[in-house]
Structure 1
Amino acid sequence: MALVTAGVVVLDCAEPEKLAAFYSELIEAEETDATANRVEIRGVDGIRMAFRRDVTATPPSWPRPENSLQVHLDFQVADLDEAERRIIGLGGRPIETKDPSGPFEERGYADPSGHSFTLRLLPSTTPKQG
């Protein structure tokens, strides 16, 4: 029997209910457990996240050096532009965008509490032409 089984990514924040709602919409997740100070969700692909109340939580300042990164999440998407529109509509914000004139493999964002995450374009499975 394994000493450690699958874990969960936990983000500290002042308002766990609001942050859980943001990520629930982003990764199509359902709430699996909630207490007064912690909310846990599970996405359709099995990813588990939790949000723990910390009224003194300070979001990282990344990419500025004043504060450490603390935690960083990567999500894979098929369409960066569509995902960006959804993130902004949910209350997230871009923090590291590239020149929008061409396709890029990743973009950085912050959730409503200031935690950073990256969207990475899924690798193409279609054969190259030429």
Structure 2
Amino acid sequence: MTLVMAGVVVLDCAEPEKLAVFYRELLGAEETDATANRVEVRSPDGMRMAFRRDTNATPPSWPRPENSLQVHLDFLVDDLDEAERRVVGLGGRPLEAKDAAGPFEERGYADPAGHSFTLRLTRATGPKQG
């Protein structure tokens, strides 16, 4: 018997309804539960996120050191440029202007409430043909 099971990623924010719309649209998710202080969504792949009202929520300031990175989310994408246009169109903003080195290409963003997340493109790792 499993003692602990994975639950829901919960982000504190001042306006959970608005933040839920951002992630619902970004992930193609559906709202599964809502109360006066919490909204939950589930993406087509089963990821569950909730947004809890905290009128004193302070967004992280990453990459600045004060109130720095508290947690961030990674999302996998097929096309970074297209995903970036979607994020910005929904009210998110880029946090970095350069791509990460290494086998992954990724870009950092903040959602409308200031929580940081990464869009990550995984490159093919097979041998080069030809």
Q: TM-score, normalised by structure 1?
A: 0.91
- Counterpart for residue 67 of structure 2: 67
Q: Which residue of 2 aligns with 1:56?
A: 56
Following TM superposition, the consecutive aligned residue runs of length 4 or more in structure 1 with deviations greater than 2 angstroms are 122-130
Distance change in 2, residues 1:126/1:81 (3 Å):
farther
Query: Aligned-pair distance for 1:4?
Result: 1.3
Q: 1:6-37, CA deviations, whole angstroms, 9 ceiling, x for partnerless residues?
A: 21100000000000000001111001111000
The aligned runs of 1:35-114 (5 Å cut-off) are 35-98=35-98, 105-114=105-114
Unaligned runs of 5+ in 1: none
Gaps of 5+ in 2: none
What is the rounded CA distance, in whole Å, between the counterparts of 1:111 and 1:38 in structure 2?
17
Q: Partners in 1 of 2:77 and 2:126 — Cα distance?
A: 16
Q: TM-score, with normalisation over the residues of structure 2?
A: 0.91
Shift of 1:98: 1.1
Instruction: Quote the sequence identity (%).
Output: 82
Call closer, same or farther: CA 1:126–1:26 in 2, change over 3 Å: farther
Q: Count residues in correspondence.
A: 126
Q: Distance in 2 between matches of 1:75 and 1:35?
A: 26
SS at match of 1:5: coil
Give the secondary structure class of the aligned counterpart of 1:105.
Answer: strand
Give RMSD over aligned pairs.
1.5
